[in-house]
Structures are given as C-alpha cells and as structure tokens.
Amino acid sequence: MSPASHVLRLLDETLGLQGRAAQFDAQTPLLGALAELDSMAVVSLITALEEQLGISIGDDEIDGQTFSTVGALTRFVEAKLAA
C-alpha cells in the first residue's frame, strides 16, 4: 500500500469519515477545513500513523503545515518512512 493510501485510510478510520476520504486528493485541505480534525483527532491520527506504519513522530516535527492538506501529510509520512 502506498503512503498516500495509508494516509487516506487512516484519515477515514481515525476521523470516522465513513468513506469520504476516498474522494480526497493531494490538494484537499485538512486542518481548519474538516470539522472532524480537531486537536484530539490530530493526536489520534499521529498515534495511528506511528502504530500502523512503524514510524516515530517527535513533538518538534509537527506543526499546522503538516496537516494543512492531504498532500502535505502524505509528504511528511513519505519522509518519515524513508528516514
């Protein structure tokens, strides 16, 4: 499964989007655009990424830009997987 597919699946599962993430593309805005993506959901999403993809995400690596769009989050995950 590609990093983009993982990101979309985890967004859908973690935020309870009931399949809506399937229509998202790289430009789809996240933080501030999805009511489901509040501060607690960000924490849950980070935890899911770490657990399911086997990556470690430090607090200093996260900012609003990371969750600005699906593409930004996917690029972040790709960089973590490549490290």
Q: What is the pLDDT of residues 28-78, one digit of tens each?
A: 999 999 999 999 999 999 999 999 999 999 989 999 899 999 999 999 999
List the domain boundaries for the chain: 3-82
The confidence band for 4, taking pLDDT boundaries of 50, 70 and 90, is: very high
3-class DSSP state of 60 = helix
Name residue 69's amino acid.
T
The confidence band for 83, taking pLDDT boundaries of 50, 70 and 90, is: confident
Rounded-to-integer distance, Cα 1 and Cα 35, Å: 27
**Where does residue 57 fall: left (phi above 0), alpha (psi -120 to 50 degrees), or beta otherwise?**
beta
> 0.85 cut: is pTM over it?
yes
Q: State yes or no: pLDDT of 1 exceeds 90.
A: no
- CATH code of 3-82, in short, is 1.10.1200.10
3-class DSSP state of 55 = coil
